[in-house]
Amino acid sequence: MENHDSFVLHGNIIYTPDKNKFISLKDGWMVVEKGKIISVSAEKPASAAGLPIKDCKGKLIMPGFADLHLHAPQFIQIGMGMDYKLLDWLDGYTFKEEPKFADPDYARQIYPIFVDEMTACGTTSSAIFATIHKESTDILCDILAQKGVRAYVGKVNMDTNSAPALTEETAKSLQDTEAFIEKWQNHPLVRPIITPRFVPSVTADMMTGLGKLAEKYQVPVQSHLSENPGEIQLVKELFPQDKYYMSVYDRFGLFGQTPTLMAHCIHLSAEEIAIMAGKNVYAVHCPASNLNLTSGLMPLRKLLDAGVKVVMGSDIGGGHTLYMPHEIVRAIEISKIRSIEHPEEKALRLSEAFYLATKAGGEFFGQTGSLETGYSADFLITDVPDFQQGRTVEEQLQYFIYHGTAQDIREVYVNGLSVKN
Ligand code: GUN
Ligand code: FE
């Protein structure tokens, strides 16, 4: 079938309309018109008449994944320096890698490989940190737009406590950020997001300017929060007048004044969790990164019970895989480890973890991440081995999440258009 955005799919359909249940349909029907899901049903609907049928019998059809925290320039340092903790890893590796993106030719070489791999892994929506460099960040956006995937992209801001090659002049950084926002704010798929690296890398002047830009252009914000005890101590020393780490972002209009993604959120008091729950702030759980950098075990159940919006991220290169099913499994594993020491924190079920990595994350972009009427047709088609054909659709998904690989993902669609090479 040609790359056509109105068609009917026939196969094993599965998705999570809410976190407590899968809906699955063996040999079900999904009608896509002009890039949107019109219906999902057990029987072939009348609306399917006249549309081309895509036969996916014996395969799984599921929503694409949402990876709401990752660093594109760190794609090439995956696995390196994993014996370090956060601050030493940043100094020892990351702050030596990211200056390379001052050269746009380097970005042209690396970023297409990154985008291809992310898409092949089934990620259809993402929130990406680029680097401080405006030209390379534009190049990353161009590649994502050309590919046709959904993304928020941030030109990173850093004007203090950083390697000299990554320390910007504050006014210039703000000018570049504003120009970047103006260039991308109306793109249908690739949008700007304000991206102070984390509190230790930005001055009060920078945060003041970024808060104003968020308000002026009504663009979202992303950063890091309470990932590592050394980082939290540093924030206390830099901003002693603020009660909590999150109070600093909040004071400058960078904590839910526009939709905000905060990666990690591991070491939070009950009071901080309650504050977060009352704001338009999403905690991005990055389980692989949290283990690799020995950052800690995020109390995910506590955040969910308090009503915090939680989504998932790969956080490469703190994380080591762009393949979100493995982050889903790691999130479940970490929650099980926590439940051993804290029996009141019930372990995450697969439907919950799948929901966080699809519909919960997709919500940041609008209606994507589920296979419900009105949602964007952002979905994957995956192989099911012959020896699993006799199982229920939910069991086939369980097998895919735990044992599948990117090679099992045959096709990836965004807005009803194929985006996988
Ligand atoms: N905090 C500030 N910068 C970074 C980064 O690049 N990765 C992670 N994991 N945490 C950070
Ligand atoms: Fe990160």
Q: What is the CATH classification number for the domain harbouring 71? A: 3.20.20.140
170-184 and 204-217 helices cross at what angle (nearest 10)? 20
Is residue 56, in this structure, part of any structural domain at all?
A: yes
Residues 132 and 12 in one domain: no
CA-based angle 148:119:256, to the nearest 5? 75
What does the pLDDT read at residue 4? 66
The CA radius of gyration of the chain, in Å to the nearest whole number, is 21
What does the pLDDT read at residue 152? 98
Is residue 15, in this structure, part of any structural domain at all?
A: yes
Inter-residue contact 268 to 306 (CB < 8 Å): no
What does the pLDDT read at residue 339? 97
Has residue 10 got a pLDDT over 70?
A: yes
Pocket of ligand 1 (CB under 6 A): 71, 86, 90, 94, 197-198, 224, 227, 289, 315, 318
Q: Which atom of ligand 1 approaches the CA of 295 most closely?
A: 9
Mean pLDDT, rounded, for 243-262: 98
Residues 308 and 388 in one domain: no
Q: At 248, list the tokens.
A: 């600093």
Residues 139 and 222 in one domain: yes
Q: Which atom of ligand 1 approaches the CA of 198 most closely?
A: 2
Say whether 407 sits in a helix, a strand or coil: helix
Mean pLDDT of the chain: 97
Residues 168 and 294 in one domain: yes
Say whether 205 sits in a helix, a strand or coil: helix
Inter-residue contact 412 to 122 (CB < 8 Å): yes
Give the integer Cα–Cα distance in Å for 3 and 118.
20
Is residue 1, in this structure, part of any structural domain at all?
A: no
Residues 205 and 91 in one domain: yes
Inter-residue contact 92 to 81 (CB < 8 Å): yes
Which residue, 401, 255, 209, is CA-closest to 324? 401
User: pTM above the 0.95 mark?
Assistant: yes
What does the pLDDT read at residue 55? 97
Which residue, 299, 314, 306, 298, is CA-closest to 281? 306
Mean pLDDT, rounded, for 31-40: 96
Q: Which atom of ligand 1 approaches the CA of 319 most closely?
A: 9
Distance 276 CA to ligand 2 centre (A): 19
Distance 119 CA to ligand 2 centre (A): 19
Distance 1 CA to ligand 2 centre (A): 39
Ligand 1 pocket test: pick from 198, 291, 314 the residue with the most ligand atoms within 8 Å of its Cβ.
Answer: 198
Has residue 2 got a pLDDT over 70?
A: no
Distance 397 CA to ligand 1 centre (A): 32
pLDDT in tens, 173-188: 999 999 999 999 999 9
Residues 392 and 247 in one domain: no
Is residue 2, in this structure, part of any structural domain at all?
A: no
Mean pLDDT, rounded, for 357-382: 98
Which residue, 100, 92, 105, is CA-closest to 132? 100
Residues 32 and 43 in one domain: yes
Is residue 359, in this structure, part of any structural domain at all?
A: yes
Distance 209 CA to ligand 1 centre (A): 21
Inter-residue contact 154 to 130 (CB < 8 Å): yes
End position of a domain, from candidates 334, 350, 365:
365
Residues 171 and 287 in one domain: yes
Q: DSSP characters for 226-284?
A: S--HHHHHHHHHH-TTSSSHHHHHHHTT-SSSS-EEEEE--S--HHHHHHHHTTTEEEE
Distance 224 CA to ligand 1 centre (A): 7
Distance 63 CA to ligand 2 centre (A): 24
Is residue 26, in this structure, part of any structural domain at all?
A: yes
Distance 197 CA to ligand 2 centre (A): 8
Report the phi/psi class of residue 395: left, alpha or beta, with left for phi > 0 and alpha for psi in -120 to 50: alpha
Percentage of the chain lying above the pLDDT 90 cut:
97
Inter-residue contact 124 to 409 (CB < 8 Å): no
Edge-to-edge strands, sheet with 65-71? 65-71, 123-129, 150-154, 190-192
Percentage of the chain lying above the pLDDT 70 cut:
99
Backbone angles phi, psi at 380, to 5 degrees: -120, 150
Q: Return the CATH number at 375.
A: 2.30.40.10
Neighbours of 260 (CB within 10 A): 25
Which residue, 161, 296, 160, is CA-closest to 227? 296
Residues 379 and 321 in one domain: no
Is residue 42, in this structure, part of any structural domain at all?
A: yes
Indicate the number of domains in the chain.
Answer: 2
Q: Which atom of ligand 1 approaches the CA of 201 most closely?
A: 2
Q: Which atom of ligand 1 approaches the CA of 289 most closely?
A: 9
- For atom 11 of ligand 1, which residue has the closest CA? 224
Residues 26 and 94 in one domain: no
Q: At 23, list the tokens.
A: 């809906």
Cβ contacts of residue 237 below 8 Å, gap of 6+? none
Residue 187 DSSP symbol: -
Inter-residue contact 266 to 290 (CB < 8 Å): yes
pLDDT in tens, 285-336: 999 999 999 999 999 999 999 999 999 999 999 999 999 999 999 999 999 9
Q: Which atom of ligand 1 approaches the CA of 317 most closely?
A: 7
CA-based angle 288:381:122, to the nearest 5? 30
Ligand with an atom nearest the CA of residue 315: 2
What does the pLDDT read at residue 421? 76
Q: Where does the pLDDT of residue 3 fall: very low under 50, low under 70, confident under 90, or very high at 90 and above? A: low
For residue 43, the enclosing domain spans: 7-63+371-418
Torsion of CA 171, 175, 176, 179, to 10 degrees: 170
Give the integer Cα–Cα distance in Å for 154 and 134.
10
Give the integer Cα–Cα distance in Å for 372 and 394.
17
- For atom 3 of ligand 1, which residue has the closest CA? 197
Residues 410 and 335 in one domain: no
Is residue 103, in this structure, part of any structural domain at all?
A: yes
Residues 58 and 69 in one domain: no
Ligand with an atom nearest the CA of residue 86: 1
What does the pLDDT read at residue 171? 98
